[in-house]
Chains A and B, each alone.
Chain A
């Protein structure tokens, strides 16, 4: 489990476009670096990210080692109904982490 900061407005008007910001605490080891003995350090990144709003896809992202450490992502969703925004991402060990945020649409 890694630390994730999620920024979603608590409330929105129906049909409003909301900005979603996600910051995941992860080293995103690129696999290009070497340790002090000259041996390569194994790649360890979050390679896929998916955000859904009441089970409808907002964004599916594929990350490569060129995404900076502690990946940050900002994107936009349409607030149609109150519900849950789900964030799921998978790292190189195959571990999936799921985070949720609630939103109330008036």
Chain B
């Protein structure tokens, strides 16, 4: 690849790097509503563990669990306000679940707020969120 061709290609990529499509807090609110309807989640019981300062957004360790018996919890959903898509993952528990807790690794494309919502079997919902800073973004290179 010669210099001119490099510049042409690099130039065509820059807008994609600088202006990635982002989910907005409104998109996240809509995605949450699609899952839990008009129920209003309360703070507490649910605990979202994720580093506040993220060096590499390509793989961020996330752990989320709720202080409850496994049978009391139907599902935990995770959302990212600054990623191209608002939803990250949904985890539904079954009769053989030992603890209502999961851990995984996620991508974060920018500094943002990550939100977790727990849906209980009795219909109530709990939420927790973490504001974090991302130094190296994921997804776009």
Contact = CB atoms under 8 A, between A and B. Distances in A.
A68 B101 contact: no
Range, interface on chain B = 35 or more
Given A65-B85, A69-B59, A60 B94 contact: yes
A32 interface: yes
Nearest to A55: B96
B104 A67 contact: yes
Given A74-B103, A75-B101, A61 B92 contact: yes
Interface string B87-117: 1111111111111011111111100000000
A34 B96 contact: no
B105 A34 contact: no
A76 B58 contact: no
Contact of B9 (A36, A64, A65, A78): A36
A77 B87 CA distance: 25
Interface residues of A, number: 35
Contacts of A58: 93-94, 96-98
A76 B98 contact: yes
Given A18-B98, A73-B103, A74-B104, A66 B9 contact: no
B9 A37 contact: yes
Contacts of B80: 66
B97 A68 contact: no
Interface stretch (B12-20, B42-50, B119-127): B12-20
Interface of B: 9, 12-13, 16, 20-21, 58-60, 63, 70, 80, 83-85, 87-99, 101-109, 138-141
